[in-house]
């Protein structure tokens, strides 16, 4: 429905895990890529974003820029997660309107859904119940982003759409143990314990929460698919359709890394939402399915960690 041939596409958040995966994926499309330099364009500053947009005038925008982090970072820095994300998305969506962007894809997160939503979570579950407290700030910002895209579509007729990725992982992830998500944290812990010959690694919480994981390259493929083939008011889930317990994930990571020590709990850390498996039906019915199986994906993420293809900062990439 949207032909990328000859189009100028701005990937906002191109240094982050998802944004860089989208840049890689768009490399095989006949479009022109544009990225902004964080030294001159602070996405939280409206004047910076407006000047960049007026200067570059992209035809399409992938809004993958966001302040992201794992459960502890979300819980510790609520003001940053709410303010930064509200500013980034408001500035980019409004500036897109001002320069007449033809197509915009906003990236949210599966944490937008109610903590106790019926599983697998349908897109229609949005705003049907209370949020998970550890990440309600990030979730509120992401819900506002979906609503902004819908509002500009409704008021001005723009083709602005939203995708809700599940928990993502892969090359370019953040491996800092205080701010990362669970996957990179476990890869790093298992690797360092293997090298040190340590008797155990520590897993946060009870290990019983279930999470759904998707490799960032699968996510990028789905996002480009949606950019080209979807035009609608409602957001679309982007997931693998399968979940595992955190204990199962820890065991799988240890197997891939080759660590055979014990797994011990740190019960002082939060579990977060008990389960957030999204329904993958909508995207599958449109004709898209993931290709990277979890074990192979973890292997790829581990290789990226070993070769230094990662960041230790909470940085610009949605999820
Ligand atoms: O990935 P994660 O930080 O975030 O944690 P959420 C997922 C689960 O893994 C939680 C457990 O139950 C954690 O307690 N876990 C076990 C660990 N060991 C570790 C560890 O070493 N590090 C981390 N980080 N977790 C985030 C939201 O929620 O998901 C964000 O806070 C966003 O807003 C993101 O939506 C996708 O899956 O709980």
Kindly tell me the sign of the dihedral angle through the C-alpha atoms of 278, 166, 96, 42: positive
**pLDDT value of residue 116:** 96
Quote the CA–CA distance of 299 and 290 in Å, as a whole number. 16
311/163: higher pLDDT = 163
Summarised one tens digit per residue, pLDDT across range 130-186 is 999 999 999 999 999 999 999 999 999 999 999 999 999 999 999 999 999 999 999
DSSP label at residue 132: P
Among 77, 204, 243, the mutation site with the greatest number of ligand 1 atoms within 8 A of its Cβ is: 204
Question: Which atom of ligand 1 has the smallest separation from the CA of 111?
Answer: 35
DSSP SS3 for 130: coil
d(CA 56, ligand 1 centre) in Å: 37
Question: Tokens 């992830």 map to which residue?
Answer: 173
Quote the CA–CA distance of 51 and 304 in Å, as a whole number. 35
Quote the CA–CA distance of 144 and 126 in Å, as a whole number. 12
Contact 283, 236 (CB under 8 A): yes
Q: In sequence order, which residues have a C-beta less than 8 Å from that of residue 165 and are 6 or more positions away?
A: 18, 107, 108, 109, 110, 214, 219, 222, 238, 239, 318, 319
Statement: residue 312 has pLDDT above 60: no
Kindly tell me the sign of the dihedral angle through the C-alpha atoms of 129, 134, 140, 145: negative
Summarised one tens digit per residue, pLDDT across range 258-309 is 999 999 999 999 999 999 999 999 999 999 999 999 999 999 999 999 998 7
DSSP label at residue 222: H
Residues enclosing ligand 1, CB less than 6 A?
Answer: 70-71, 74, 109, 111, 134-135, 138, 167, 180-182, 185, 203-205, 209, 211, 246, 269-272, 319
Contact 64, 12 (CB under 8 A): yes
Question: Tokens 């083939």 map to which residue?
Answer: 229
Q: What is the mean pLDDT of residues 50-65?
A: 98
User: Whose CA is closest to 241, among 194, 296, 279, 185?
Assistant: 279
Per-residue confidence at 243, pLDDT binned at 50, 70, 90? Answer: very high
d(CA 246, ligand 1 centre) in Å: 9
Q: Rounded mean pLDDT of the chain?
A: 96
Question: Which atom of ligand 1 has the smallest separation from the CA of 272?
Answer: 38
**pLDDT value of residue 111:** 97
Question: Which atom of ligand 1 has the smallest separation from the CA of 138?
Answer: 33
Q: Backbone dihedral region of 241: left (phi > 0), alpha (psi from -120 to 50 degrees) or beta?
A: left
Buried b (16+ CB within 10 A) or exposed e, 42-71: bbbeeebbeebbeeeebbbbbbbbbbbbbb
Statement: residue 316 has pLDDT above 50: no
Per-residue confidence at 311, pLDDT binned at 50, 70, 90? Answer: low
Asked about 158 being catalytic, the answer comes back as no
d(CA 248, ligand 1 centre) in Å: 14
**pLDDT value of residue 308:** 85
**pLDDT value of residue 13:** 97
Single out the catalytic residue among 2, 77, 113, 138: 138
Which residue, judged by its Cα, is nearest atom 16 of ligand 1? 204
Question: Which atom of ligand 1 has the smallest separation from the CA of 269?
Answer: 14
Statement: residue 315 has pLDDT above 50: no
Statement: residue 207 has pLDDT above 50: yes
Statement: residue 313 has pLDDT above 60: no
Quote the CA–CA distance of 138 and 78 in Å, as a whole number. 8
Kindly tell me the sign of the dihedral angle through the C-alpha atoms of 292, 141, 227, 16: negative
Q: What is the full DSSP assignment across 139-152? A: HHHHHHHHHHHHHH
Q: In sequence order, which residues have a C-beta less than 8 Å from that of residue 155 and are 6 or more positions away?
A: none
Q: In sequence order, which residues have a C-beta less than 8 Å from that of residue 167 and are 6 or more positions away?
A: 110, 181, 182, 183, 211, 212, 213, 214, 319
Summarised one tens digit per residue, pLDDT across range 28-55 is 999 999 999 999 999 999 999 999 999 9
């Amino acid at each position: 429905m949207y032909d990328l041939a000859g189009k100028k596409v701005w990937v906002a958040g191109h240094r982050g895990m998802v944004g860089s995966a989208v840049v890689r994926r768009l490399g095989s499309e006949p479009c022109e890529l544009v990225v902004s330099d964080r030294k001159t364009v602070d996405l939280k500053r409206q004047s910076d974003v407006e000047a960049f947009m007026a200067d570059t005038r992209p035809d399409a925008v992938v809004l993958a820029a966001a302040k992201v982090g794992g459960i502890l970072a979300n819980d510790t820095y609520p003001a940053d997660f709410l303010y930064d994300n509200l500013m980034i998305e408001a500035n980019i969506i409004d500036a897109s309107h001002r320069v007449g962007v033809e197509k915009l894809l906003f990236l949210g997160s599966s944490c937008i859904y109610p903590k106790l939503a019926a599983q697998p979570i349908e897109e229609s579950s949005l705003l049907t119940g209370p949020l998970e407290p550890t990440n309600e700030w990030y979730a509120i910002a992401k819900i506002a982003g979906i609503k902004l895209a819908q509002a500009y579509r409704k008021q001005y007729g723009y083709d602005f759409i939203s995708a809700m990725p599940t928990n993502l992982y892969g090359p370019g992830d953040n491996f800092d143990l205080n701010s990362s998500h669970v996957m990179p944290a476990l890869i790093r812990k298992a690797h360092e314990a293997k090298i040190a010959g340590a008797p155990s690694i520590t897993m946060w919480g009870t290990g019983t929460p279930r999470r759904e994981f998707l490799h960032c390259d699968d996510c990028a493929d789905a996002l480009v698919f949606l950019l080209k083939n979807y035009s609608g008011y409602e957001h679309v889930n982007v997931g693998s359709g399968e979940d595992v317990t955190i204990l199962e994930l820890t065991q799988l990571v240890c197997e891939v890394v080759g660590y055979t020590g014990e797994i011990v709990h740190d019960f002082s850390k939060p579990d977060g939402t008990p389960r957030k498996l999204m329904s993958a039906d909508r995207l599958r019915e449109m004709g898209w399915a993931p290709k990277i199986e979890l074990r192979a994906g973890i292997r790829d993420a581990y290789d990226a960690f070993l070769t230094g293809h990662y960041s230790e900062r909470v940085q610009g990439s949605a999820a």
